[in-house]
Structure formats: structure tokens, C-alpha cells
Structure 1
Amino acid sequence: MVVLTLIKLKPDPSGNVIYKPFSESDDFSADWWEDTIYGFEPSQHFYAFFDGQNEVVRVEIELQDALNAGYEQPGHPGPYAVIHFFEVSEDHRRRGLGTDAVQLIADRYGGTPLVAFSAGADEFWGSLGWERYEHTTEPGHSHPMFVSDPE
């Protein structure tokens, strides 16, 4: 049995630029995790999940009061914990670690609905039982939005 440890990371401000708080790794998509943030807000949260010494999952979340108005809207009000980026390391995929990490995130945000815009991971987000919402003006051209049950 794998036990994940969740660690909240803080961005490193260097001059007028803020760098995402993730180390370079061939196991994760570099263009997601090694870029810079301009106008960092306290509503942005970064987490790394470890299985012992191995970093196995990364996530970037932003707390938002409202969702993109171009999508069908869930029947419950915000705030929402919007998952902007979520990745399981290449060597650790298909082992249930993503599902375990999402559960730890849900526990951390206690009752706040989680939201993910799927970029080709529809099967994963759907497997969690999250409700799928389509973009109302560009169906099929925008990534679907998945929303967890706030209970």
C-alpha cells in the first residue's frame, strides 16, 4: 500500500518574477511546472505529493468565487478549488495515485467543490464520479469542465 504525503509549496519570488515552486524533473511536463508566474495571488496553491522520497504527483489550484461563464454552471455556488494543472509522474501512472491525491485535495478543501478542465484526461476525471460540463458557446472546441460533488 502506498501512503502519499502532501506538501504545500510556496513560490520563490526573485526580483519582479515569481517562479513556480517545483524542481526540474524528467518525470513531469516541463512546460507546466518550470514556468514563471506574473501577478501571483494568495489564492494560488501548489502541492507536491510524495511516496516516501519520490515525488509522484503535482498540482496547481486556485480558489475562485465563480467559474468561467462560458460553461454550463453547477447547481451549487462557489467558492471553488480550480485545478489548473494536475500530473502524476510518468513512472507512477495507472496505480491509483492520482485518485488518492485528489482525495487528499478534497479532504484539504473540506466541502469546497473541486473543478478541473480536462485536457485529454476526460476518462480520469469522469472515473471520479465528477459531473461533466460543456462549454456553451464552443462545445467540442474547449476542454470539458468536471466538477466534484461538494459533499
Structure 2
Amino acid sequence: MKVIIDSVEKLNCVARYIHDAMFEIDKVIFKEQNKFFGLEVIRVLYEEAVVRKKTFLYKIMSAPKLRSSLSFKCVNKMKLNSTEPTDFINKIKYDSRNQQIKFSCVKGTKICLDVERMEGKFDDIEKISEGRHKFTVLFWGLEIENW
């Protein structure tokens, strides 16, 4: 999937697509001179999941992972608050009043971008071939991740 982000609707579409995607804090890129922000995320392709073992109480599944890139131009300032080395994207919102793009993450990481205008790009890079994401789903729907 490749999306040019130039509206709130397209940002919301990308946010839904990469909901729960994992990223590493030390790979967040901000180049102040170029006004560039970049983020590489890894998304589990649950739609391609394969059941490896199924019992009455649980099923063990695996799915491929996909590496993707999210970037924005015209970024004047970035604020990053994090205490963990990795996190998972929960929400991405655009605040039109303050012209900010705000990321809220599962483990508490917050990223705030002050932007001149909405100008970004999202692109799927590649399927990761070094193994599949393994997870267990218990019979009542609780999922146990094995990153």
C-alpha cells in the first residue's frame, strides 16, 4: 500500500492500517534542517495468519510481518516522550487548530509533530523473511503475543 498523505482522511486511513504496528524508538528520524520526520514500523499481517495447532482451549497461529515507512515533510518541531525501547502505535490524530500531528502509543510513548501543512507519505517496504510472528489465541479471544 502506498499513500500520499495530504488530508486528514488519508491520515486516518493510514492510522487504521498501522494500528498496533511496532516501532523502535531509536529508529525515529527527525532532521530539523530538512524539516523531515520518518518512522519505520513493523505490522503483523493477521489477514494472512495460519493456524499451526488448534485445541478446545487455544490455537497457536503464525503470520508474516511487513516493514513499512511513514514520513512527513514540513515538520518544524518534534517532541518525543518515551521510556521504552519499542512501542506500538495506537492512534494518530491531526490537531488542525495547533497544526500538530500527535501519535499515542500503547506503552505510553507520545510523539508530537508541529507541521506547516499536511504533507506526508506512507509506503509498504517489504515482507520480513526472518520468520513469522507467532501468537496464541485463547478460546475467549485473548491474544498472547510472542514478538
Answer yes or no: same fold by TM over 0.5.
no
Q: What range is the shorter-chain TM-score in?
A: under 0.3
Q: From the two aligned structures, give the one with the greater helix fraction.
A: 1
Q: From the two aligned structures, give the one with the greater strand fraction.
A: 2
Q: Which has the larger radius of gyration?
A: 2
What is the TM-score of this pair, normalised by structure 2?
0.25
What is the TM-score of this pair, normalised by structure 1?
0.25
